[in-house]
Amino acid sequence: MPRKWQKYGKVRGITLSKERFQFIFDHEHDLMEVLEKGVHTYKDWALAIDRWVEKPLEDYLQFILIWVQIRNLPMNYYTKEAIAALGEKIRQVKVVAFDLDKPQIHDYVRIQVRFDVSRPSRKSKVVNLPDGGSSVVYFNYERIQKRCYECQRLNHEKEVCPLVIKKRRDTASERGERIIKENQ
């Protein structure tokens, strides 16, 4: 990570457990620069990084600030209030990067949210239109590459997803019961 942060020789790391590491910076400004850059990744997995505290709260390293692109937004939803309300469907909105007085040059609007990494990421939301129709709005999480494609959580791959494992066990159990009944 020090090389990725361009802090080689200015920070050292300690492995605390299989999933937790501590980085000790020589200078406060180097730590602040890393924290201000937002989401960091290692081997395409998002990392929750924060300043060390002696007595961490129960939700320590449970949240990351991430930017989310909202795509396919209906025209009547182009207000800060509507964008913030959509963002709240994901998690707590910190920033709505939208200015009605400036031209929109992208096909999306951006929000920054405080995201709970233990909860599923939401890919889309159906919004109701004033004429009675509906539209699907899509959420793209910036700098987030890997996630479980079964449950949409950021902390494991599909092969080790608890939901997939449960489905496999249930299927095997049902198959076993069926074989036993057939052989009786």
* Structural domain that includes position 88: 63-145
Output the pTM of the full model.
Answer: 0.76
Residues 91 and 133 reside in one and the same domain: yes
Each of the 184 residues of the chain gets a pLDDT tens digit; together they read 667 788 888 998 888 888 788 888 999 999 999 888 878 888 888 888 888 888 888 888 888 889 999 999 998 888 999 999 999 988 899 999 988 888 888 999 999 999 988 888 889 999 888 888 899 999 999 988 888 888 888 888 888 888 888 888 888 888 888 888 888 7
Of 53, 46, 51, 17, which Cα lies nearest the Cα of 34?
Answer: 51
Of 87, 74, 155, which Cα lies nearest the Cα of 119?
Answer: 155
Residues 68 and 132 reside in one and the same domain: yes
Residues 159 and 86 reside in one and the same domain: no
